Structure 1
Amino acid sequence: MTTAVTGATGHLGGLVIEELLARGVAATDVVAIVRDESKASKLASQGVSVRVADYDDPESLRTALAGVDKLLLISGADMGRRVAQHTNVIESAEENGVALIAYTSLLHADTSGLSLAPEHVATEARLSKSPVSTVILRNGWYWENYLAAIPQAVSTGTLFGAAGEGRLAAAARADYAAAAAAVLTADSDQTGKVYELGGDERLTYGEFASAIGEAAGSTVEYRDLSESDYRASLVGAGLPEPVAAMLASSDAGISRGELDTTSGDLRSLIGRSSTPVADVIAQALG
């Protein structure tokens, strides 16, 4: 069985391929789909087949997916364009007779009020109409999303956000990669399954701030802002308005419980607890 991973030189895609190889999948049975072949030299040196394609180029996708049995479609990063891009991938997979598509969606996508949700919902809807068997990996937040914020919180003594008392069931990126690899290598039929994926530590931002302070040996407190004030503060810190709006919307979603889950799906797939947040904090603090 040949397994292809899109975005293979990205953080998540690269980790998924590492997991596939660690699970005993032969490198010759793994296809890394990349936009820039020069960034895939490590994969090529491992014996992985590297194919160049772009979500905006259907012809390149049709060529890249030739002979592929299973496909992990990692959602694109171009907000506002992702539905069309994902559709290009799905149609190319259908034309090539791919047997299974796994898609990285968003936790609780179907009920989420996050600004990221609509494109995921639309992609899931398109997949539901596909003759190809599909499985949805609804990933929660990555702890790595806070790698830049953690040192700043230590230096200022304050973690800013707009999450209120909402709980965040985040996990390390490697945990989500392990879950994807588990689905792609599963002996059991994955058709139609929807996994709500989140970590075992369900922290409020206040608890997260305390964990940062404990790791740094200092006091870090959480300061809760309104969504609009938090967005303005992010813009003031130099982030582009669309990025600031997305992050503020995500925090508001956390306050409503939209990035929290007790499903246990992640633990079940990877066969262990999610990576401790203390490990990710330590990584951020160097």
Structure 2
Amino acid sequence: MTIVVTGATGHLGRLIVESLLRRGVPAGQVVALGRDTDRLADLAGRGVTVRRADYTDPDSLRAAFAGAERLMFVSGSEVGQRVRQHRNVVAAAREAGVGLVVYTSITRADTSSLILAAEHRATEQELRSSGLPYVFLRNNWYFENYLPQLPAYLEHGVVGAAGDGRIGAAARADYAEAAAAVLTTEGHTNQVYELAGAPFTMTGLAEELSRQAGRRVGYTDLPVERYVEVLAGAGVPRSYAEVLADGDRGVAEGALDVDSDDLGKLIGRQPTTLAEAIRAAL
């Protein structure tokens, strides 16, 4: 069985490839795709097939998907461009006769009001309409959205616009492990999995960081518009700052508060906790 993984030069795609290999999938049956194949040279050295693929280049996708029985479709990173890019992926997968497409979506993509959800919702609709067998892995936020900012949190405190909303974030490695489980086992066709960890609030994150770091870290909640200004003032491009602040707006409204054990069931254990993630990062 040939398993093709898109976005293998990115954090999640790379972890999925590594998880497949740990699960015993022969390296020769794994195809790692990326725009810059030089960044995949070490995988090639381990026997993984490496091919160039660019979501904006349909010809590259058709060539990359040749012989694929299962396709791990990691969503693109260019917000605002993904509907067009993802249509290219779906069209190439259909032309290649892929047996199963596993797509990384977002929490409650079909009903979410988040700006980020719109492109995922369109992609899910595209896959359903294509006739291809699919699996939707609706990933919640990643701990890694927050962990790189721990030094700044320790110095300046935690700032956001999430109110008391709960976030079902989980470790990127756990999401990758869940994807590998779906790719290597049966019974998932046309299933939708809401993947999340134990929910926490931003105040809870600040309190856990305070406990582990041994210093007081507070959470300051701002109006969404003010949070956009803070992010923009810190150098975040305004268009992206608006997307990030909208994410917090959604959190405050419950968009990422998920009561689901799908992630634990797929990986066969309890997902990594926020406390464990912070401890490792510190």
TM-score tier by shorter-chain length is: over 0.9
Identity between Structure 1 and Structure 2 (%) = 51
* Structure 2 Cα separation of the partners of residues 46 and 214 of structure 1: 42
Deviates more, 1:270-279 or 1:168-177: 270-279
- Corresponding residue for 2:48? 48
Q: Is the 8 A contact 1:151 1:284 kept in 2?
A: no
* Structure 1 Cα separation of the partners of residues 87 and 12 of structure 2: 20
- Corresponding residue for 1:215? 212
Deviations 1:242-274 (A, max 9, x none): 111111011111111111211111011111111
- Corresponding residue for 1:278? 275
List structure 1 runs of 4+ shifted beyond 3 angstroms: none
Mapping for residues 86-165 of structure 1, pairs under 5 Å = 86-156=86-156, 158-165=157-164
Structure 1 unaligned blocks of 5 or more: none
* Structure 2 Cα separation of the partners of residues 243 and 273 of structure 1: 33
- Corresponding residue for 1:192? 190
Q: Aligned AA for 1:261?
A: V
- Corresponding residue for 2:83? 83
* Structure 1 Cα separation of the partners of residues 93 and 70 of structure 2: 9
Mapping for residues 177-188 of structure 1, pairs under 5 Å = 177-188=176-187
Q: Aligned AA for 1:152?
A: A
* Structure 1 Cα separation of the partners of residues 214 and 275 of structure 2: 13
- Corresponding residue for 2:264? 267
- Corresponding residue for 2:247? 250
* Structure 2 Cα separation of the partners of residues 243 and 228 of structure 1: 13
Deviations 1:74-93 (A, max 9, x none): 00011111011111111111
Q: How many residues align?
A: 282
Give the TM-score, by structure 2 length. Answer: 0.98
Deviations 1:218-255 (A, max 9, x none): 11111111111111100011111111111101111111
Q: Aligned AA for 2:150?
A: I
Q: Aligned AA for 2:170?
A: A
Shift of 1:113: 1.2
- Corresponding residue for 2:27? 27
Shift of 1:15: 0.4
Q: Is the 8 A contact 1:140 1:259 kept in 2?
A: yes
* Structure 2 Cα separation of the partners of residues 155 and 80 of structure 1: 33
Superposition CA RMSD, Å:
0.9
Shift of 1:110: 1.2
Q: Select the residue among 233, 236, 239 that pairs with 2:233.
A: 236
Structure 2 unaligned blocks of 5 or more: none
Q: Is the 8 A contact 1:149 1:159 kept in 2?
A: no
